[in-house]
Amino acid sequence: MNEFGKHIKKEDLYTEYVRILNSQLRLSDREAELFALLLKVDNKWEPKLGEPKNILSTDIRRAIMRETLINKNNLSKYISVLRDKGILVRTEHGYEIREMFIPKPTGDLLEIVFSLDTLDKS
């Protein structure tokens, strides 16, 4: 088994994680940027007064538009792509990132395993 490693700054974790996953997801640069930002939002989520989790609430969308300079129409388009690819899932309270896409570091280490299954053309 081949093992590859890379040292990164902690604040670059989500950007690097999305960059690695993007070989399979095939997101545009802006879609990948949005996905990494949503992972940061998800990681820092703290429920307030029983408020249900919705990483695409109006306040979060506004903050994303301010930080990335993405306009409302393009943000909706990028969100649709993430939803169509199964990255974002709708819940009864809004949207969440599908559990399988949320990185789970152990201490300072995040391990990702890819399996490539080759098919015979018979």
Strands (E), the chain: 88-91, 94-97
Domain residue limits at 66 = 10-101
Asked if residue 118 is part of any domain, the answer here is: no
**How many other C-beta atoms lie within 10 A of the C-beta of residue 27?**
21
**By C-alpha distance, which of 5, 7, 79 is closest to 41?**
79
Q: Which of 14-23, 33-42, 106-115 has the lowest mean pLDDT?
A: 106-115
119, part of any domain: no
Is residue 110 included in any domain, yes or no?
Answer: no
Mean pLDDT of the chain: 91
The total of other beta-carbon atoms located within 10 Å of residue 7's CB is: 5
AA letter at 117: D
Q: How many domains does the chain have?
A: 1
Does some domain include residue 43?
A: yes
Average pLDDT over residues 88-100: 94
Residue 72 belongs to a domain: yes
pTM comes to 0.87
Higher-pLDDT residue of 8 and 76 is 76
Tens of pLDDT, residues 38-84: 999 999 888 777 788 899 999 999 999 999 999 999 999 999 999 99
Q: What pLDDT score was predicted for residue 122?
A: 64
In a domain, 49, yes or no: yes
> How would you class 108 by CB atoms within 10 Å of its CB: exposed for 0-12, middle for 13-18, buried for 19 or more?
exposed
Is 82 a domain residue? yes
Q: Is 2 a member of any domain? A: no
Give the phi and the psi of residue 96 in degrees, each rounded to 5: -135, 160
Q: How far out from the chain centre does Cα 31 lie?
A: 9
- Own/partner contacts of 98-104, CB < 8 Å, gap of 24 or more, are 101/21, 101/39, 102/39, 102/42, 103/13, 103/14, 103/17, 103/39
Tell which wins on pLDDT, 99 or 107.
99
